[in-house]
Amino acid sequence: MKIGIRLSLLSALIATALTASPLGELGARRPPNILVILADDLGIGDVGCYGNDTIRTPNIDRLAAEGVKLTHHLAAAPMCTPSRAAMMTSRYPARYGLVPNERLETVVIPHISSRVALPLDEVTLATALRAANYTTALVGKWHLGMYCNLFGESCPGPLKHGFDTFYGIPVTLFMEFRGPHPFWVFDLEKPGFQRLAFTWLLSVVSLAFAKKKLKWSLFTLVFLLLLTHAILFVFWFFTAHVGLDKGSLWGVSNWLHRAANSRIFRQDKVVESPIELDGLSQRLAAESRKVLADFAKDDKPFFLFHSLAHVHTPMFNAPNRERASKHGRYGDNIEEMDESIGTVLDSLKEFGLEDNTLVYFTSDQGGHLEAIDDDGQRIGGHNGLFKGGKAQGGPEGGIRVAGIYRWPGHLPGGAVVDTPTSLMDLMPTFLDLAGLPPLGELVPSAANKDLDGQSIADLLMNGDRSPPQERIMIHHCRQAIRALRLVRGDHIYKMHLAKVKWFEGSTQCGWGHTTGCFCYGDKFHLDISHAPELYDLAVDPYEDKPIDPETKEYKEIVDFLRMYLKNWQGSVHYPDPPMSNMADVMWRPHHQPMCWHC
Ligand SMILES: *[C@@H]1O[C@H](CO)[C@@H](O)[C@H](O)[C@H]1NC(C)=O
Ligand SMILES: *[C@@H]1O[C@H](CO)[C@@H](O)[C@H](O)[C@H]1NC(C)=O
């Protein structure tokens, strides 16, 4: 106990000494290492230190006990690709179009070979930190586009956005990766296959007939038969495996989806295909441990982005982790995820890096409420009492996520901050805490870019004792604006402009692993019939009691936010999204990387 007190006193003293040192000295001191751990689709209600008392997440809980826990932490989108893009760039993804438009059903980058990616003139945290002489590494999921060359000969992906090294998953995990799926498909009930069968018959008969009439040699006949079959095979392949009618959202059959995308990359090359799911979590953690061991030998500061495969569907575990939790397969996945976080955090300690490493943990979005496995078991997250979930646009459950910052001796331990913060605050906050120059100075090409995130370094160091600065956050669905949040004095207003129509008696839309209350298009439950709904989350966190539209407060806030919105839309240009072109999003065989060494 005494030692503990002495240690924390000592670290407080060091912290004061460091913060008090003049700027010149700050520049000379080695900036902290940075470790970002990002969970996938983790619900805020799935974590012990956020109030779940039946699930075991001791490692995340320890991080919170030693750091600052953010209770009002928000993702910029309830969907992987745009949320991750926003986190990495500190900018709304609508600003650079890494969101589909209304016409497209595909909501994320579906294929390694898709020609959509985070634009190269966007500056990521990795690019910024590399400019500040950090060594940078990504282990795990990327999902911001792979930029494959012709024939997939190289797919540099994250290496184009500031990472020195990459080991991991180029897109995301998809249910189809579980496999195996049938390759030989020939369904004579479908017109495509009927045409194919007819063409085959016709070709064989005409070749046989032509041989007789034209007196071809046997060699000519065999050659022409082989050629015909090769051509027909290609037609068959496309009929069987490519197209929007193949039973999956991704424009390809389940077989092709797994064959083309279930891959692990090292740098710009495929090293594993298909992905061996069982034990993947442990392998990623082991990779990060190796990376940290290398970093420890170097005297440059480092940035490691450990982007977890869990707890996205499909569910998988190392064999010994099965049925370990009280919450079925999903709970097992949570606990395995926590264990792998433990491995990475323990490696920091093992290599003597813990004290000078700033750790940040969060999730790209809230839990997927609709997700169920083939046997009907729920395999989606739990968003506590917040309404709604993944894919829904404005509803809180899809964007309110866990968020923890830890930096021993510099940030208080066991602190809680209730002021609204964003995943987009990451880059400005890190640069600030690390004593680095602002983004525009580090990367001159970023100087003219407006950031939507802001430094919360002060909040992390001093807590939210003093009233927060006024702040407005916009909640998009693709490029449409669905809700606005206003932090003003003691109030946290949230105005919904349009809301998803939930299924009766729930805050979700049915069941299925690609089902969701998608927040766009007429067939997706969009209810825009009402006047804006306004809540004050400071007193009504779960949005149960909308503020009466007849009150002065309602009129004042709604008018203010509407005016803000009008100005925003008049001054901020959202380009036509690259993801709106189906030909770019689709599987592109001529950009498909192969696995030559698997
Ligand atoms: C804890 O998480 C599990 C898994 O998502 C969920 O089923 C359960 O309801 C949660 N418990 C609480 C108290 O939030
Ligand atoms: C990075 O290193 C270069 C060369 O040593 C140096 O000139 C530059 O100031 C460093 N940048 C930062 C932000 O420390």
- Using CA positions, which residue lies closest to atom 1 of ligand 2? 133
DSSP track, 490-540: TEEEEEESSEE---TTSSS----TT----SSSGGG-EE--SPPEEEETTT-
What does the pLDDT average to over 428-437? 97
Tell me which of 80, 477, 517, 519 is the catalytic residue.
80
pLDDT of residue 376: 93
Q: Is 80 a catalytic residue?
A: yes
**Rounded CA gap, 138 and 298, in Å?**
17
Ligand 1 near 46 CB (within 6 A): yes
The pLDDT of residue 527: 67
Q: Is the pLDDT score of 249 beyond 80?
A: no
Q: What is the pLDDT of residue 596?
A: 82
pLDDT at site 468: 81
pLDDT at 69 over 70: yes
User: How far, in Å, CA of 442 to CA of 6, rounded?
Assistant: 38
d(CA 489, CA 231) in angstroms, rounded, equals 69
pLDDT-derived band of residue 282, with 50, 70 and 90 as boundaries?
very high
Share of the chain above pLDDT 90, in %: 82
Helix (H) or strand (E) holding 261: helix 254-261
- Centre of ligand 1 to C-alpha 304, Å, is 30
Give the pLDDT of residue 307: 98
Other C-beta atoms within 10 Å of 270: how many? 20
Q: Is the CB of 327 under 6 A from ligand 1?
A: yes
The secondary structure of residue 299, as a DSSP letter, is S
Per-residue pLDDT at 107: 79
Q: Are 148 and 113 in contact (CB under 8 A)?
A: yes
Distance between CA atoms of residues 438 and 427, nearest Å: 9
Give the predicted TM-score (pTM) of the model: 0.93
Could you tell me the distance, in angstroms and rounded to a whole number, from the CA of residue 446 to the centre of ligand 2? 18
Query: Quick one: which atom of ligand 2 is closest to the CA of 132?
Result: 13
The yes-or-no answer on residue 595 being catalytic is: no
Higher pLDDT, 102 or 111: 111
Binned at pLDDT 50, 70 and 90, residue 526 comes out as low
pLDDT at 319: 81
Ligand nearest to the CA of 329: 1
- Three-class SS of 468-491: CCCEEEEEEECCEEEEEEEEECCE
Q: Identify which ligand lies nearest to the alpha carbon of 31.
A: 2
Choose one of 42, 47, 55, 369 to mutate for the ligand 1 pocket test, by most ligand atoms within 8 angstroms of C-beta.
55
Q: Distance (Å, rounded) from C-alpha 574 to C-alpha 279?
A: 41
- Tell me the C-alpha to C-alpha distance, in Å, between residue 548 and each of 161, 224, 295, 495: 47, 78, 56, 12
Can you tell me the mean pLDDT for 150-164? Answer: 97
Distance 134 CA to ligand 2 centre (A): 10
For the CA of 133, the closest atom of ligand 2 is: 1
* Strand ranges inside 323-479, DSSP E: 357-363, 400-406, 415-417, 421-422, 471-477
Residue 398 has pLDDT above 50, yes or no: yes
Q: Which residues of 235-261 are buried (b: 16+ CB within 10 A; e: fewer)?
A: ebeebbbbeeebebbbbbbbbbbbbbb
Give 461 Cα–ligand 2 centroid separation in angstroms: 27
160-to-122, 424, 592 alpha-carbon distances in Å: 11, 20, 18
* Contact 55 CB / ligand 1 (< 6 Å): yes
| pLDDT band, very low/low/confident/very high, at 267 (cuts 50, 70, 90) | very high
Give me the mean pLDDT over the 111-121 stretch.
96
**What is the C-alpha end-to-end distance of the chain, expressed in Å?**
53
- Residue 2, pLDDT > 50, answer no
Contacts of 429 by beta carbon, 8 Å cutoff, 6+ apart: 405, 453, 455, 456, 457, 460
pLDDT (tens digit per residue) in 455-490: 999 999 999 887 788 999 999 998 999 999 999 999
Considering only CA atoms, which of 112, 116, 115, 170 is closest in space to residue 139? 170
Point out the catalytic residue in the list 111, 143, 496, 591. 143
- What is the tens place of the pLDDT at every residue in 196-213? 999 999 999 999 999 999
| pLDDT bucket at 18, cuts 50 / 70 / 90 | very low
The predicted-structure confidence for 540-591, as pLDDT tens digits, reads as follows 999 999 999 999 999 999 999 999 999 999 999 999 888 888 889 999 999 9
Q: What is the reported pLDDT for 523? A: 56
Does 416 score more than 90 pLDDT? Answer: yes
Q: Side by side, which strands form the sheet with 480-488?
A: 471-477, 480-488, 491-496, 533-536
Cα–Cα dist 487/469, whole Å: 7
Ligand 1 and 330: CB distance under 6 A: yes
- Residue ranges with strand state E in 407-464: 415-417, 421-422
Q: What is the DSSP string of 83-111?
A: HHHHHHHSS-GGGTT-S--TT----S---
- For ligand 1, say whether the CB of 328 is within 6 Å of any of its atoms: no
Instruction: Average the pLDDT over 423-441 and give the result.
Output: 97
What number does the ligand 2 atom closest to the CA of 442 have? 13
For 310-347, write each residue's pLDDT tens digit.
999 999 988 877 778 999 999 999 999 999 999 999 99
Cα gap 321→501, rounded to integer Å: 38
Ligand located closest to 132 CA = 2
Q: For 21-132, where are the alpha helices, taking DSSP H only?
A: 23-28, 58-66, 80-89, 125-131
pLDDT score at 100: 78
d(CA 383, CA 515): 17
Q: Which ligand is nearest to the CA of 337?
A: 1
Between the CA of 19 and the centroid of ligand 2 the distance, in Å, is 22
Lowest mean per-residue pLDDT among 15-24, 29-38, 327-336, 496-505:
15-24
Residue 327 CA, ligand 1 centroid: distance in Å: 7
Give the per-residue pLDDT at 99. Answer: 86
Query: What is the pLDDT, as a whole number, of residue 142?
Result: 98
Average pLDDT in the 22-42 region?
Answer: 77
Mutate to test the pocket of ligand 2, among 23, 26, 133, 135 (most ligand atoms within 8 A of CB): 133
pLDDT confidence of residue 598: 81
Report the mean per-residue pLDDT for the chain: 91
Residue whose CA is closest, atom 10 of ligand 1? 52
In the predicted model, what is the mean pLDDT of residues 36-54?
98
What pLDDT score was predicted for residue 77? 95
Q: Tell me, what's the pLDDT at 105?
A: 67
Decide the pairing of beta strands 302-307 and 33-39. Answer: parallel
Pocket of ligand 2 (CB under 6 A): 132-133
Establish how many alpha carbons lie within 13 A of residue 479's alpha carbon, considering only the half-sphere containing its beta carbon.
22
Range 128-143 average pLDDT: 98
Q: β-pairing, 269-272 with 302-307?
A: unpaired
Higher per-residue confidence, 6 vs 219: 219
d(CA 598, CA 594): 9
**What pLDDT does 24 receive?**
38
